[in-house]
Structure 1
Amino acid sequence: MCKECWERIAKADDTEFLDSLELTHAERTVLEDLYKQGENRIVEILELQGKALHDAILDLNEELLIDIGELGKVIQSVQSSDLFTVQFEQAVYDSFTPLFHLAGESELTVLNTDKTWSTKNKAASRFAKNLQKLVPDMNGTSADVMTRAFQKAIKEGKTPSERALLVREISAAAAKGDAGPFNMERAITVSRTMSTAAANGGKMEGWKQSEVVIGKKWRSSKGDRTRKTHRKANGQVQPLNKPFEVGKGKLMFPGDPSGRAEEIIRCRCTMQSVME
């Protein structure tokens, strides 16, 4: 799918998600800016990863280019590089922790004016660490995608030279963002996942600090792309300190980074507070 198509889909998702948060105009403007900054940072890192992988592929001779074991080592070396791991973790912290604070402070301010939100609260630190734990999984996904693409090229090539050429072509396309895991689609997926987690995680912490909210109610996003498990969870009510039961897993809030990947990736759901 073209870059412009993914951007249109992402914009529609963002509008629906932001509408569900019921933010003031000022809060929404800040949140939109933070989300876009996060997306742009993820795009930059993915582009650098794609280029680094392609450069490493170009350094291989023909014999190594058709050895999936050697290609796997190259992929793993690039993906597990401290440089990219640290960059990803820092981008996640810088871009999405502020969303957590914004959502939490917004809820607390409305619910209990006697309480003051602290940007140094322990919950925010725990959340940031949980969010950063998703980075190895993101890198692992990129590695799996590239490995399968290289395996297909090696299988389809009729001669060693043709196989090597196909591997180089796949690597070049991935580096440009035309195909593979380093494109706009991937950046949108990562950003949507992170922003959902940050907004809902912040909301729940704001509810906890307010001391007037006793529970939470799952609100699934509308549309055909909403998971069946999330539609089934719609309307589910749980005490504030208990997880929602979603599919085969348990989530403290929509997008909970400690949850199963199949239940949090690109999630657009949110939740409502339940008062005494």
Structure 2
Amino acid sequence: MCETCWELIAKADDTEFLDSLELTHAERSVLEELYKQGEDRIVEILELQGKELHEAILELNEELLIDIGELGKVLISVQAGDLFTVQFEQAIYDAFTPLFHLAGETELTVLNNDKSWSTKNKAASRFALKLKKLVPDMNGTSKDVMTRAFQKAIKEGKTPSERAVLVQEISAAATKGEEGPFSMKRAVTVARTMSTATANGGKLEGWKQSEVVTGKKWRSSKGSRTRKTHRKADGQVQPIDKPFKVGKSDLMFPGDPSGRAEEIIQCRCTMQSVMD
């Protein structure tokens, strides 16, 4: 699917999710800008990752280029570097921590104006660590995608030279963001997952600090792309300190990073506060 199409999908998802929140015009404008900043940062870091991997692939001779074992070693070696670990973790922190603070402070202010939100909030730091823990899984997914693509190229080439060229072409295409783990589709997936998790995580913390919210109700997003497990969870009510039961996962909020991948990737659900 074209880059413009993915951008439109992202915008539609943003609109649907934001429509489900009770925001003033000013709050919504800030939130939309934070969403865009987060997505832009993820796009930037994925582009840099793709370039670094391609440069490593170009340094291999023909014999190594057609050895899937050696290619795997290169992938692992590159992913152990600063760009795939420290810089990616920092990018996630920089992009999504402000969103957590905004969501939490907005809810707290509405519910209990006597309480003050602090940007030094320990809950925000704990949540950032949860997001960072997703990075190894993301890198593992990137490695698996590239390995399968390289295996296919090696299998399709008739001669060693042709196989080596095909491997380099796969690497070059991935670097350009046309397909694979460094594409716009990938960036949208990562950004959407992080944004939903962060906004909902911040909301829940705001509710806890308000000391007036006792429970929470799951609100599934509408449309054909909503998962069956999430549609089934729609309307489910839990105490504020207890998880929702969604599929095979226990989720404290929609997008909870501690949940199973199939329940949090590109989740667009939100929740509603419950008070006695």
Under a length normalisation based on structure 2, what TM-score does the superposition of the two structures give? 0.98
Which residue of structure 2 lines up, in the alignment, with residue 234 of structure 1?
Answer: 234
Secondary structure in structure 1 of the residue aligned to 2:235 = coil
Q: Which runs of 4 or more aligned residues in structure 1 lie more than 6 Å from their structure 2 counterparts after TM superposition?
A: none
Q: How far, CA to CA, are the matches of 1:116 and 1:264 in structure 2?
A: 30
Note the 1:155-234 alignment, pairs <5 A.
Answer: 155-234=155-234
Which residue of structure 1 lines up, in the alignment, with residue 36 of structure 2?
Answer: 36
User: After superposition, what is the alpha-carbon deviation per residue over 1:229-270, rounded to whole angstroms, capped at 9, x for unaligned?
Assistant: 111100000000000000011000000011111111100000
Which residue of structure 1 lines up, in the alignment, with residue 136 of structure 2?
Answer: 136
CA RMSD of aligned residues (A): 0.8
Q: How far, CA to CA, are the matches of 1:207 and 1:3 in structure 2?
A: 37
Structure 1 position 247 matched with structure 2 position 220? no
Letter in 1 for 2:157: G
Which residue of structure 2 lines up, in the alignment, with residue 112 of structure 1?
Answer: 112
Determine what percentage of the aligned residue pairs are the same residue.
84
Q: How far, CA to CA, are the matches of 2:74 and 2:94 in structure 1?
A: 29
Structure 1 position 260 matched with structure 2 position 263? no
Under a length normalisation based on structure 1, what TM-score does the superposition of the two structures give? 0.98
Unpaired runs of 5+ residues, structure 1, are none
CA deviation after TM superposition for structure 1 residue 180, in Å: 1.1
* Number of equivalences: 276
Q: How far, CA to CA, are the matches of 1:268 and 1:192 in structure 2?
A: 8
Q: Is the 8 A contact 2:49 2:83 kept in 1?
A: no
CA deviation after TM superposition for structure 1 residue 84, in Å: 2.8
Note the 1:27-176 alignment, pairs <5 A.
Answer: 27-176=27-176
Which residue of structure 1 lines up, in the alignment, with residue 10 of structure 2?
Answer: 10
CA deviation after TM superposition for structure 1 residue 83, in Å: 3.0
Unpaired runs of 5+ residues, structure 2, are none
CA deviation after TM superposition for structure 1 residue 183, in Å: 1.0
CA deviation after TM superposition for structure 1 residue 150, in Å: 0.3
Q: Is the 8 A contact 2:215 2:239 kept in 1?
A: yes
